[in-house]
Structure formats: C-alpha cells, structure tokens
Amino acid sequence: MPEGPEIHRAAARIHKALAGKPLESVEFAFEHLKPWERRLRGREVLSVDAHGKAMLTRFEGGVNLYSHNQLYGKWYVQRAGKLPQTTRSLRVGLHNATHSALLYSASDVAILQDAELATHRFLAKLGPEVLDPGVTWQDVAARLQDPRFRRRRLTALLLDQSCLSGLGNYLRSEILFVARIAPDRRPCDLDDREVEDLARAVLTISRRSLRHAGVTNDLDHVRELKAEGWPRWRYRHFVFGRDGQPCHQCAAPILRMEAGSRRLYVCPNCQRAPELLDG
C-alpha cells in the first residue's frame, strides 16, 4: 500500500497538472457520481493535497473529490489524450486542456461539500499529518503520550492514522530502527529521551522518504552504496525488506517478524530492549 510520502508525491504531481486550470471533462465510473461529470465541467481545480493516505482535490464552488487508494488504487498523470498502459479499470478521470489525472482501481471515492469534510468518517479522525511542515517533534511526542495512545504497542500505534497520519508499513520499521527502539514497547514504557528520539525519527524518516523518492536510509551511506553498484532494493532502507542481510550500522543479520499481520523488520542488536542493554 502506498504510504504518506508516495501519496504526497502523487498529489504534488496532480496539483502541478491541474491546479489553476478549468476542467474540460470529468469521468466517473460510479453511477452515483455520474451527475458530477457535468457539474464539475468548466470548474477550476484549486488544489490537490494528501491527507494521510487519502487525497483531496478541491474545486471552485466548495466541492471536493475525496479518494483513498486503499491497497490497489493508483493515480496516473498523462498528457491530454494519452492513456497509460494498464489493465486496471478507470474510476476517475479529470481532464484539462493539457493534462489528465486518472485514478485506477480505487473504490473509495466521494464528492464532499466543504461543510462535510469536518465530519467525514476518515478525514475527521486523522491525527497530525507527519508530512505537514508545521508539525513539530513536540507535537508528535505529545500525540504518542496522549492517554488514548500511550498504552498501545508501537507496532500498532505507528500504523494507526488516528494517532499520526501518513505513516505506513515500511516507515514503521525504519522509524523504530532509527530511534533504536524494540518494536514490542509502548510509549508509556519509554523515558523522555526515547520519546524525543522516536518523535524526531517519525518526522525525519517520513520527510526524507518524501524528498528522496522513498529512500529512508542514511543519505551519505546511500551515495556510497550506489557508487559500489548496490541495487536500490538493497540500499533504499535501513532494515525494511532486508531480512538475513547485515545491518548497515552493526552488521548483525536483520530479522523479519509479523506485527498486526504486516511484516516488520528489526536489527536485534541496534534495537535491544533496555534490560538487555544493561548486561
């Protein structure tokens, strides 16, 4: 599933292609949205941005297109008149004079009036957006220590969009590694220093991924590994997807485990539980 950084990059591409221009035609595969094909035609797109893993396209007149890619959805941006090579089914097409933004396979699509955004079942419960430059590590730390969240395991909490929005599975493994925190711990088990390290890692790693096309590993190290001819799948992350390979920091073999039916990768040496660190 695409995570916050991937959705943000897609939103930025669509924003660039559509914002500030009127729509020449609109297509919806969903019967209940068909009347909007005509109503949206000629309206200007004001902005396109990501909200957690959802995307919101704002049109003139207080109307918004909400879309959530879930597991299979994918946006494409194409020059006008060109369709991507795909066997997926088209769900939404937004076309202006020069470009088309095309959403394939997603089923969670809705038209919302401005007033409905605050009560939407997904948007209303989103936690602070980790890719919003206005969010600080102190905001993240406060969220992790909130009574609603502090007794939950980090493995579950870091995927819960109502705690922090925009994180996903590879970011979970990478953030815990960078903060050097064993995955079965809870915010209430951490001391102040660990909470700060974790909160800083949440922002640093997700923002690095946004800026560097999904790379979360240390950027100097990535440059060295690339120069040595390592493939992307081996240098992209600190631990995610690297089971059995040596930790980039300490050379211990990375372990793969399951948490919440999603794969999780840890370095058993760098992310030791505190009782082991004392010995």
Instruction: Indicate which residues carry an active-site annotation.
Output: 2-3, 53, 262
Q: Does 249 bind Zn ion (CB under 5 A)?
A: yes
Of 8, 21, 118, 91, nearest in space to 60 by CA? 21
Instruction: Work out which of 23, 94, 247, 266 binds Zn ion, going by CB under 5 A.
Output: 247
Query: Whole-number minimum distance, CB 267 to Zn ion, in Å?
Result: 3
- The residue number with the shortest CB distance to Zn ion is 247
Query: Whole-number minimum distance, CB 242 to Zn ion, in Å?
Result: 11
Q: Does 218 bind Zn ion (CB under 5 A)?
A: no
Q: Which is nearer to Zn ion, 17 or 270 (CB)?
A: 270
Instruction: Work out which of 10, 123, 202, 270 binds Zn ion, going by CB under 5 A.
Output: 270
Query: Which residue is listed with tokens 């922002």?
Result: 203
The stretch among 79-87, 148-156, 237-245, 262-270 that binds Zn ion (CB under 5 A) is 262-270
Q: Which is nearer to Zn ion, 9 or 172 (CB)?
A: 172
Q: Does 267 bind Zn ion (CB under 5 A)?
A: yes
Q: Which is nearer to Zn ion, 158 or 247 (CB)?
A: 247
Q: Which is nearer to Zn ion, 11 or 270 (CB)?
A: 270
Q: Does 178 bind Zn ion (CB under 5 A)?
A: no
How far lies 253's CA from each of 143, 265, 267, 270, in Å? 33, 10, 7, 11
The stretch among 41-49, 91-99, 158-166, 264-272 that binds Zn ion (CB under 5 A) is 264-272
- Name every residue whose Cβ is closer than 8 Å to that of residue 121 and which is 6 or more positions away in sequence: none
The stretch among 80-88, 139-147, 184-192, 259-267 that binds Zn ion (CB under 5 A) is 259-267
For the chain, give the secondary structure using H, E and C. CCCHHHHHHHHHHHHHHHECCECCEEEECCHHHCHHHHHHCCCEEEEEEEECCEEEEEECCCEEEEEECCCCCEEEEEECCCCCCCCCCEEEEEECCCEEEEEECCCEEEEEEHHHHCCCCCHHHCCCECCCCCCCHHHHHHHHCCCCCCCCCHHHHCCCCCCCECCCHHHHHHHHHHCCCCCCCCHHHCCHHHHHHHHHHHHHHHHHHHHCCCCCCCHHHHHHHHHCCCCHHHHCCCCCCCCCCECCCCCCECEEEEECCEEEEECCCCCCCHHHHHC
Instruction: Work out which of 250, 253, 274, 276 binds Zn ion, going by CB under 5 A.
Output: 250
Instruction: Work out which of 25, 145, 162, 269 binds Zn ion, going by CB under 5 A.
Output: 269
Query: Whole-number minimum distance, CB 47 to Zn ion, in Å?
Result: 42
Residues binding Zn ion: number (CB under 5 A): 7
Q: Which is nearer to Zn ion, 22 or 268 (CB)?
A: 268
Residues that bind Zn ion (CB under 5 A): 247, 249-250, 252, 267, 269-270
